[in-house]
């Protein structure tokens, strides 16, 4: 009986996993219509998710982080507010003058493109 349950569980897991696709992170959803999201391929979603969650470094454990996000990002961190500070071929950083202790390190545009290429290669 245990073997039957195990086999059925594995089959069900396999069917569910097979049908899974990438899901867009919530912060990115604010920038796309539902129709746009439906049209996105998994590779595009993975690249978008990288941009919104990993194309920068910020210490979210910093005690000033919540105050900073509440004041400047409407309650949730959105990297698009800081994209204008990115450089093409080197990392740059942004430090808030109003909320002390916040520093955002922005990956360069070239670094992001390298990661995008790596993501695309996974889907070939």
Q: What is the pLDDT along the chain (124 residues), one digit of tens a residue?
A: 444 343 334 333 443 334 337 899 999 999 999 999 999 999 999 999 999 999 999 988 888 888 888 887 777 789 998 999 999 999 999 988 888 888 999 999 999 999 999 999 999 8
- For 95, list phi and psi in degrees, rounded to 5: -125, 130
Give this prediction's pTM. Answer: 0.78
Domain extent listing, the chain: 22-122
How far apart, in Å, are the Cα atoms of 59 and each of 45, 102, 103, 122? Answer: 25, 8, 8, 29
Which pLDDT score, from 0 to 100, does residue 55 have?
Answer: 97
Which pLDDT score, from 0 to 100, does residue 9 have?
Answer: 40
Helical residues (DSSP H) of the chain, grouped into ranges = 2-19, 26-29, 34-39, 42-54, 65-72, 109-122
Tokens of 121: 């290669």
Which pLDDT score, from 0 to 100, does residue 8 have?
Answer: 36
Which pLDDT score, from 0 to 100, does residue 27 have?
Answer: 93
Which pLDDT score, from 0 to 100, does residue 98 have?
Answer: 83
């Amino acid at each position: 009986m245990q073997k039957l349950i195990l086999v059925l569980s594995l089959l069900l897991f396999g069917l569910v996993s097979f049908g899974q696709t990438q899901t867009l992170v919530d912060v990115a959803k604010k920038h796309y219509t539902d129709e746009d999201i439906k049209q996105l391929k998994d590779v595009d979603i993975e690249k978008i998710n990288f941009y919104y969650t990993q194309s920068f470094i910020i210490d979210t454990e910093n005690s000033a982080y919540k105050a900073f996000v509440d004041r400047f990002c409407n309650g949730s961190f959105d990297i698009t507010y800081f994209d204008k500070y990115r450089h093409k071929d080197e990392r740059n950083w942004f430090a808030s003058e109003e909320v002390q202790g916040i520093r955002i390190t922005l990956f360069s545009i070239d670094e992001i493109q390298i990661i995008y290429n790596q993501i695309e290669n996974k889907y070939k």
